Structure 1
Amino acid sequence: MSRKKQPYINEQVEMERVEDCLHITWIGKPGSHYKLYGGFKPEKDNIQELLEENSTGEFILQIPIDSLPSYYLIQVDDEWSSIFAERVLPLEQAINFRDMGGYRTLDGKRTKWGLLFRSDQLSKLSEQDIKLLENYQLKTIVDYRSAHERKMNPNKEIGTVEETVWCDPQSSFSEAAANAADLNEENIKLVRQLEEGMVDSKYVNGKGLKVIEDYRKMVTSEASQIAYKKFLQVCAQVESAPLVHHCRGGKDRTGFGSMLLLLALGVCDEDIVKDYILTGVIRTERNELKYKLYRELTDNQDYLDYLMSMIETRSEYIKASLDEIRQRYDNTDEYFKDYYDLNQKDLEQMRSFYLE
């Protein structure tokens, strides 16, 4: 039986799915009476159906996967929750496809659900996965992968998608996969680079200094600027939504893009970092498997620590990018203007459309 607890929804609720059964638990300010409402569109006026009410704030519902999307509100006595939904979509062949809704902004708003998504690659989607994404009316895909990655693992076609935008930031995060035919070959290549001294010894430990350095470089590198300008310009064309942006694992290239988008929308740092580190929670089992595979190739602990630092999702990585931006600009809106040609009108239009 498949049991999947959502790694994070918001500060008010927790959710867990067991096949077609959905568990929702209120963890916000306690009350005496709780009412759960549902709807198929992420707007308060369309979330009107009373699904259940009780005095515990715990709800168990039959919500079949093929009936999604579904959005919810909880009334606690006389107060209302914000809109919420399942953040990680219950796909069979993509583990990191998730909704970027519900994040808090500095001025008290939240990102809307059902418009902005981030993911790992879409090359292995099952028929059920494709039908589910079509239910979300996905219109645009932004793919950060290199031409080699796309050739090796082409995305599956999704019927509702009208446009795919390719924008490779040419980051070091894709270099290991650049000439590898499969995962085993990639692992061998990574270990060989360490054994042949191709990685500066100052990085060969578990401190993550190489990743931190790369996240800082992405703030100003020319290739990164070109790629993420394309992404943000797509987001500024609000008719492109619902949209998903993705790389291979949905961690670094997608993580940086997500940080930029959320920062442009005015999301608070706490939730920007939260969104980033969720990938690490989602990929816990995968990373444990990677460690075992690395151990089959080397018993050098410094090598192993370095390799794990490259695949982990540490808060200090994305904070390094945020720090680099703020060291250069007192007003982050100026950064988006200088690097990505987003003027104040563009940013205001994006905030008006993507926030509530």
Structure 2
Amino acid sequence: MSGIRSQRLLSGMIVAAVAGAASPALAIDDAVVTRIDSGHVAVEWKDADPVSVFVSAVPQADRKGARAVAKADRSGSVVVASQVNERRYFLLRDHGDRSVLRVAERVLPLEQGSNFRDIGGYKGADGKHVAWGKVFRSGAMPLLTEADYGMLEQLKISTIVDLRSTDERMIAPNMLDDRTGAIFISNDYSLKGLMANYGKGDGEYAYRGMDTFLKPQLKQVFASLLRNEGAVMYHCSAGQDRTGITTALIYSALGVDRATILKDYHLSTELRRPQFEMPPLDPADWPGNPIVPYYVASMKKPGGPKAEPLFTSKGNSHLAQFLEMVEKDYGSVTAYLDKELGVDADDIKRLKALYLE
């Protein structure tokens, strides 16, 4: 399944939230959930002490609200029945210091989704970790199956922020809000404005100007997070550029380190499934739409559309360059959040209280 190798590469960072640990040091380490097949996942960890594993359909459930699937296990790995149409969260209880970790599949195993993942699990400020089941990111979703909708309904998404342009939304409408009852938020803009500088010259600093161009959408994402009315989901077309910038800003506000932010961003290359990001298109049906020729050309390539690595020809990360520009222009990411998005120190404190545990 797409994303399994990436999950293993990041297993040292995909450590779930700690509940009640006495110190920042975790007895259980390198916890990760990897899908084996349509009916099973492997829960793996590192710990010198025996560990009990519990499963729950609720992301923040405690041990009493979860079902035990392994007791005092020393093997470091258990295989658990978990259907692809079920969203499950796992609690690992250390029998040495009694600490509890939460962990889940980062990538949702959708039949026809692309790059849909939970942003939880990474270590943030004060030794805490980003909560699971509260914030999700994705690429476009025009070809979701009934089974996919069934799984996504379990996420209890209350707000969907569509980062895409009017041109993109027109040809690949988002139907998830209709199926889940979530509030749908978008801002109208032309893709021509977004693409004015993207990919120009030698490709360096390709995200130049995105800090101001995406202000309306970014403000909506952070406002939704601060309202705390339920799970928030945001997406663009590929779930990598605009969505990657948005995720990086959220992680930065929560105190996730830069190396982790960049590695998570670059997971998109492997986790994308471009064939499900856009329905079949006839250019004659969309005269004047600037994105249609691009998608039609990509679909005609041998093997169909493919995800390209998010690096310049010189090997520089697009996101690293964007964050470099933000820090040069504003002094820091937090200063940018305050000046341009209106997310001040009190808001960041609230975000940490809401989304770290």
Normalising by the smaller structure, the TM-score range is 0.7 to 0.9
Alignment correspondent of 2:248: 259
Q: Does 1:214 align with 2:206?
A: yes
* SS at 1:213 equivalent: coil
Q: Distance in 2 between matches of 1:63 and 1:329?
A: 46
Alignment correspondent of 2:55: 38
Q: From the superposition, tell whether residues 333 and 218 of structure 1 become closer, same or farther in structure 2 (CA, over 3 Å).
A: same
Counterpart residue type for residue 312 of structure 1: P
Moved more, 316-325 or 330-339: 330-339
Q: Distance in 1 between matches of 2:95 and 2:67?
A: 17
Alignment correspondent of 2:22: none
Q: Displacement, 1:334?
A: 2.4
Q: Displacement, 1:331?
A: 4.6
Flag structure 1 segments of 5+ consecutive residues without an equivalent. 177-198, 204-209, 299-306
* SS at 1:258 equivalent: helix
Counterpart residue type for residue 323 of structure 1: E
Q: Displacement, 1:172?
A: 7.1
One of 235, 242, 267 as aligned partner of 1:278: 267
Aligned pairs, how many? 306
Q: Does 1:166 align with 2:186?
A: yes
| 1:205-260 Cα distance to aligned partner (Å, 9 max, x none) | xxxxx2x42224322x3x22233222222222211x31111011101011111111
Q: Displacement, 1:135?
A: 0.9
Flag structure 2 segments of 5+ consecutive residues without an equivalent. 16-29, 276-293
Q: From the superposition, tell whether residues 255 and 56 of structure 1 become closer, same or farther in structure 2 (CA, over 3 Å).
A: same
Indicate the structure with greater helix content. Answer: 1
Sequence identity percentage: 26
The answer as to whether partners of 1:37 and 1:49 remain within 8 angstroms in 2 is yes
Normalising to structure 2: TM-score of the pair?
0.76
* SS at 2:248 equivalent: helix
Q: Distance in 2 between matches of 1:123 and 1:284?
A: 12
Alignment correspondent of 1:337: 338
Alignment correspondent of 1:312: 309
Q: Displacement, 1:95?
A: 2.5
The answer as to whether partners of 1:69 and 1:136 remain within 8 angstroms in 2 is yes
| 1:135-155 Cα distance to aligned partner (Å, 9 max, x none) | 111111111111121111112
Alignment correspondent of 1:346: 347
Q: From the superposition, tell whether residues 173 and 254 of structure 1 become closer, same or farther in structure 2 (CA, over 3 Å).
A: farther
Alignment correspondent of 1:182: none
The answer as to whether partners of 1:138 and 1:160 remain within 8 angstroms in 2 is yes
Q: Displacement, 1:43?
A: 2.1
Alignment correspondent of 1:49: 67
| 1:29-77 Cα distance to aligned partner (Å, 9 max, x none) | x4253321112222252554221143211111111223x2211122344
Q: From the superposition, tell whether residues 285 and 136 of structure 1 become closer, same or farther in structure 2 (CA, over 3 Å).
A: closer
Q: Does 1:69 align with 2:59?
A: no
The answer as to whether partners of 2:87 and 2:154 remain within 8 angstroms in 1 is yes
Normalising to structure 1: TM-score of the pair?
0.76
Counterpart residue type for residue 263 of structure 1: S
